[in-house]
Amino acid sequence: MQSKLSFPLSFLSLLSSATAAVIDPSSFASNAILLRDVVVIGGGSSGTYAAVNLKRAGHSVALIEKEARLGGHVDTFQDPATGGIFDYGVVALLNTSFVRDYFAFFQEPLMDIPASNPGALDAFANLRTDAKNVTLPPTVPWTDAAAVFGAILGYSAQISQYPFLVGGYNLPNPVPADLLLPFGDFLAKYNLTAFANMAFRFDQGMGNILATTTLYAFKYLPKTTVDAFVGLAPPPVMSATLNFQGLYDKALAYLGSGTNAFVNSHVLAIDRSGPRVLVAVLTPSGPRLISAKKLLVAIQPKASSLQGLGLDLSVQENNIFGQFNNSYYWDIVIKNSGIPPNVGVTNVDLNASLAIAPMPGLYGFAPAPLPGYTNAYYGSPSFRTDAQVKAETLAAVKKYVAANGLPATSPQIVGFNSHAPFWLTVSPSKIASGFYSQLNALQGQRNTWWTGATWVAHDSTAIWDWSEATLLPALKGSL
């Protein structure tokens, strides 16, 4: 059964009916109907990049973003008193030609990330228990610098055996058994346990890194990233103004805020039953109907999120997207933490395997680039409320300060974002049974293309490279 959408009141019945939408263009004023080549849903890293690329290539686009800004996982903090600014979400990109071109196009400066921070001190504490600084015993394999460097080379050698991991999920059949191992077992199998802390620090937000399927750990931390961070390739880059949001603000202006790029906007229904895709959107200036040749979905494709768009999912799409699990990840800025500005604290657990702190929990505390501020990152394999994460973070800060004889302060959380659903995964048995072939086969079906971290990795450089090499040529070819 199909329901007829008479905008906007009947939308409510549409949501609860779980039937496919048929949008009636005659219920929109003619000046509220926009014809575009491509309509993009989601203005984060992947969606904004695609929209800008399409516009630069002469195609007409509409980009719809539910938040008040473009940028997705970019979070840029601004001190209300001084105007000082710093990134605490996405901070690092690789120095590739597409990254350089994108930033040069918007005249946003990049700079190399410094190899080391003089005067920085690394502290280790169990932030779940007593939070007292500990000296790591030599039995913890990643305390030995030579062993760590050897493990980095060993990890790179292992990952180099799987060149198909670059780009999307183009897995061979059968999928190599090592890729399906829990990452902790993989490290043990190849005597790479000294790599565990590097993986813990870089693969944040995946849940328990040692339990993560090796395929996903490899996707998150590819050889290119390892090489850049350990000095075997040109260093990674960051925003020279510590303001990645600046790029996205310029992208919003370039696309045309309110004409082609709609922030604070909510997709009400999507109808793919005809030759063009129809998207009904509530924007701050009223309802719009976008009629496009193609739809590009650039949000995390959990079935529940897609249903929330009023997307008319097929049985096949529902079945595929319904298989995803996801992890949870938060980034946090604390004012007046009381932790000295040169001290970074890594959460450890000397009773856990390889001393890697189990999640849910904090990854640690890191000095922010502005005096008086500390960054914190929190991950979980399962749902936590924002209130729980805030309470645990503040409790851990206070405990750390007290346990280590630092002067007490009144810490405040002044920046806080949940990035859920973060990493979308399926079980090793589903990976082995060809899940990613089925997922990739959806590309281009029903006038619909898909992009974002789930199709590549939580790595903006990799997403943009894949967009240029794979997604955008195919999408443009279909117009």
Ligand X SMILES: Cc1cc2nc3c(=O)[nH]c(=O)nc-3n(C[C@H](O)[C@H](O)[C@H](O)COP(=O)(O)OP(=O)(O)OC[C@H]3O[C@@H](n4cnc5c(N)ncnc54)[C@H](O)[C@@H]3O)c2cc1C
- Residues at the site binding ligand X, with contacts judged by CB under 6 A: 41-47, 64-67, 72-73, 89-93, 205, 267, 298-299, 308-309, 329, 331, 419, 452-453, 458-461, 463
What is the chain's length? 479
- Tell me the CA distances in angstroms from 244 to 44, 108, 203, 307, 458, one per residue in order: 12, 9, 21, 31, 16
> Two tokens at 380?
């979980």
Q: Which residue, 67 or 130, has its beta carbon nearer to ligand X? A: 67
Minimal distance, residue 205 CB to ligand X, in Å: 6
Minimal distance, residue 333 CB to ligand X, in Å: 11
Minimal distance, residue 317 CB to ligand X, in Å: 16
Minimal distance, residue 270 CB to ligand X, in Å: 11
SS3 for 318?
Answer: helix
CA-only gyration radius of the chain, Å: 23
> Two tokens at 256?
């045309």
Minimal distance, residue 435 CB to ligand X, in Å: 18
Residue 329: which of 365, 366, 383 has the closest Cα?
383
DSSP 8-state code for residue 468: I
Minimal distance, residue 354 CB to ligand X, in Å: 23
Residue 142: which of 201, 185, 186 has the closest Cα?
201
Q: Which residue, 46 or 212, has its beta carbon nearer to ligand X? A: 46
Minimal distance, residue 329 CB to ligand X, in Å: 5
Q: Which residue, 297 or 394, has its beta carbon nearer to ligand X? A: 297
Tell me the residue nearest to ligand X as measured from the CB. 44
Q: Which residue, 205 or 360, has its beta carbon nearer to ligand X? A: 205
Q: Which residue, 46 or 374, has its beta carbon nearer to ligand X? A: 46
Q: Which residue, 193 or 460, has its beta carbon nearer to ligand X? A: 460
Residue 367: which of 390, 348, 347, 343 has the closest Cα?
343
| CB distance 425 to 325 below 8 Å | yes
The Cα 423–Cα 419 span in angstroms is 9
SS3 for 228?
Answer: helix
DSSP 8-state code for residue 453: G
Task: Give the DSSP H or E segment for 178.
Answer: none
Minimal distance, residue 429 CB to ligand X, in Å: 25
Q: Which residue, 190 or 416, has its beta carbon nearer to ligand X? A: 416
Q: Which residue, 245 or 337, has its beta carbon nearer to ligand X? A: 245
Question: DSSP readout, 329-371?
Answer: EEEEEEES--S-TTEEEEEB-TTSGGGBPPSSEEEEEEE-SST
In sequence order, what are the beta bridge partners of 35? 291
